[in-house]
Amino acid sequence: MTDVTGKTVIITGASRGIGERSARLFADQGANVVLLARSETTIKAIAAEIGGTGLAIACDVSSYADMDQAVQTATEKFGKVDILINNAGVIEPISHIATADPAAWAKAIDINLTGVFNGMRCVLPAMIEAKSGTILTVSSGAAHNPIEAWSHYCSSKAGAAMMTRMAHLENAAHGIRCMGLSPGTVATQMQKDIKTSGINPVSQLDWGIHIPADWPAKTLLWMCSADSDAWLGEEISLRDEDIRTRVGVS
């Protein structure tokens, strides 16, 4: 396992799914874990189970003020932020462009894309000063392929993928490691929501084909190691059998 002992990781969308599993795994490996989500009660319960190295902060990632305060609080508690995992994302509202609710569409963009910018913007100055840091963003195959009724999701994930490339371009020389992870379809609540929609081929997939949330969590941990440096500035796909073998989830 990657050694993250004593390092501080901020995980957005940490109340369930990939975020929750990652929080528990990083904590098990000795990291200080800062759980961010809008559902304060849930993340406080998870942080309590983690113990003294867990910190729950209610945060709407689409709000720069919220994110800035969360990073300040994490820094005051643990000294610095070493790793940021941009995981927060929403799939609703699943709708065709012609019938989409404009406000709901824009909110999804704010969470999935502006939330990634806010996280990067808040941690980068201190990381640049320290000349070290890792920023990982959970991407999707939807970033690269149009999927019916997912205009908000595909567009925001495509933007987030470009944000990873931009962050690498601008900050690699400062010692900052930036990468994206496309996990494939994962057995989470989001997949249940997709299934319920009944729209597009993804909703028709058999539940047994989805990978467990532990797999992307383990991959994110591995991405914090030098073994993944060949992918800096790029997007790692968990559909790749070579990657699964390297991570140990094959």
Q: Which pLDDT band holds residue 163 (cuts at 50, 70, 90)?
A: very high
Question: Is 23 a member of any domain?
Answer: yes
Q: Which pLDDT band holds residue 25 (cuts at 50, 70, 90)?
A: very high
Question: Is 89 a member of any domain?
Answer: yes
Question: Is 222 a member of any domain?
Answer: yes
Return d(Cα 11, Cα 59) in angstroms, integer.
Answer: 11
pLDDT 10s digits, 57-83: 999 999 999 999 999 999 999 999 999
Return d(Cα 12, Cα 74) in angstroms, integer.
Answer: 13
Average pLDDT, the chain: 92
pTM over 0.95: no
Residue range of the domain that includes 214: 8-244
Return d(Cα 99, Cα 148) in angstroms, integer.
Answer: 13
Residue 236 near residue 180 (C-beta atoms within 8 A): yes
Rg (CA), the chain: 17
Question: Is 35 a member of any domain?
Answer: yes
Q: Which pLDDT band holds residue 1 (cuts at 50, 70, 90)?
A: low
Which pair of structure tokens corresponds to residue 187? 């057995």
Say how many C-beta atoms besides its own lie within 10 A of residue 93's C-beta: 17
Question: Is 221 a member of any domain?
Answer: yes
Return d(Cα 242, Cα 151) in angstroms, integer.
Answer: 31
pLDDT 10s digits, 170-200: 999 999 999 999 997 665 767 667 767 767 7
Share of the chain above pLDDT 70, in %: 93
Strands 32-37 and 54-58 turn out to be: parallel
Distances (CA, A) of 126 to 81, 120, 212, 214: 8, 11, 34, 30
Question: Is 214 a member of any domain?
Answer: yes
pLDDT of 89: 92
How many domains in the chain?
1
Return d(Cα 229, Cα 111) in angstroms, integer.
Answer: 28
Say whether pLDDT at 204 is over 80: no
- Tell me the catalytic residues: 139, 153, 157
AA letter at 165: R
Q: Which pLDDT band holds residue 209 (cuts at 50, 70, 90)?
A: low
Question: Is 250 a member of any domain?
Answer: no
Residue 208 sits in a domain whose CATH number is 3.40.50.720
